[in-house]
Structure 1
Amino acid sequence: MAKAPVKSEYAWSDSKMACVATYKILEGDKFMNEFEDSDIPFEKASDVEMSSLFYWPQTTGNDALLKLAASQAAKKFWYLLIKNYTVLKEEAAKESYKMLDDVEAVFASKDATLKKLAEVVDKSLKFPNE
């Protein structure tokens, strides 16, 4: 019997830097430019699926191509996140590559949302004033 997906209690909010950073990095023209804020305002972005973003290959079901696209997008996202936001690890002992693996898994999941990505970021990193 298939398990039902686990519902997350994480709330998308403009008071959470992980949500704001996720949105700004994915939307920003000088960042990843994966969508336009006029099409997807912050308030409605939480349920946007990763598979609807530009990096997601729409013309093939090739798993290797999806994995490569997701890996490249996740690495760019992670780089921009670290470079543009002063952050610390939530768990000092957790290795950065393991946090990147968690982010990569979200980028590779067809049903994952921006809210899920922000949740993973929030569990991995501390932002200023947290």
Structure 2
Amino acid sequence: MSVHELLRLLQTEHDDTVARADHLREQIERHTTALAQTEARLAELAATRKVIDGLTPPDHPTAPAETATATVYQRIVTVFNEHPGQVFRVRDLHEHLGLPTDEPSINVTRSRLGRLVRQGLLEQPGRGRYQKRT
């Protein structure tokens, strides 16, 4: 194989890789935009729920948040609402909710808690510790 053929093959591989990288960057941009929109919608829904909860008379019983169709997010927020001053570690929260305590499950919940912190529902008083924002 001659040097010219090697250079041509190298250039072809380079062009293909650049095209693939550009395609992946476009996908990342689309997914990042979709994620930002979805997280903004979650924040709107959480704020709406907070306003509605604030308008509910104290003597009016609220519907239980934990139903068969309740999401994990709802269950997490319910725990923090029931224990507003308590600081939870992720593993303790999993044990409280009866969720698996394997590392992948813990990491998913850690990510969920991070989103709830960014949305302003929770605060992080220390590394790996979460509590309801007061």
TM-score (norm 1): 0.26
Q: Which has the higher strand share?
A: 2
Q: Which has the higher helix share?
A: 2
